[in-house]
C-alpha cells in the first residue's frame, strides 16, 4: 500500500495567512436582500476558517456609499493597518 499524505495549503506554507475582513452596507434594502453585515461577516469568517487563514481584524462601515472612500473610515483604517504591517 502506498502512503499518500494530503497536505493543506497552510501546511505547505509555513507562514500563516493573515487576513483582514471588510464588510459594508449602504442601505436597508441591501440588508433585506441577504447582504446584511452579519451575513457578509459570517460568509467571510467561514471562508477564512475553511482556508485556514487567521483573521487579524474585522472592519465594518455601516450606511456608507461605496462610490467613494470618503466617509468609509473603517476602510481607511484597514488600509493604514495594511501599510503599517507591510513596513514591518
The per-residue pLDDT for range 46-59, each reduced to its tens digit, is: 999 999 899 999 99
**41 within a domain of the structure (yes/no):** yes
| 26 in catalytic set | yes
DSSP-assigned beta bridge partners for residue 55: 19
Query: Mean pLDDT across the stretch 81-85?
Result: 93
Higher pLDDT, 17 or 46: 46
**5 within a domain of the structure (yes/no):** no
* Each residue's pLDDT tens digit, 56-78: 999 999 988 888 899 999 999 99
Distance CA 27, CA 50 (A): 29
Catalytic residue among 26, 36, 68, 86: 26
Its pTM stands at 0.76
**28 within a domain of the structure (yes/no):** yes
CATH number of residue 61's parent domain: 3.40.50.1390
**1 within a domain of the structure (yes/no):** no
Domain count, the chain: 1
**2 within a domain of the structure (yes/no):** no
Q: Using pLDDT thresholds of 50, 70 and 90, give the confidence band for residue 28.
A: confident
Domain that holds residue 48: 20-86
Amino acid at each position: 500500500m502506498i502512503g499518500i499524505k494530503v497536505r493543506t495549503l497552510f501546511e505547505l506554507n509555513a507562514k500563516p495567512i493573515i487576513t483582514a475582513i471588510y464588510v459594508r452596507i449602504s442601505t436597508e434594502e441591501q440588508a433585506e436582500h441577504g447582504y446584511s453585515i452579519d451575513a457578509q461577516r459570517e460568509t467571510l469568517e467561514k471562508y477564512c476558517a475553511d482556508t485556514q487563514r487567521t483573521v487579524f481584524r474585522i472592519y465594518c462601515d455601516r450606511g456608507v456609499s461605496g462610490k467613494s472612500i470618503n466617509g468609509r473610515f473603517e476602510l481607511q483604517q484597514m488600509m493604514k493597518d495594511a501599510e503599517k504591517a507591510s513596513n514591518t
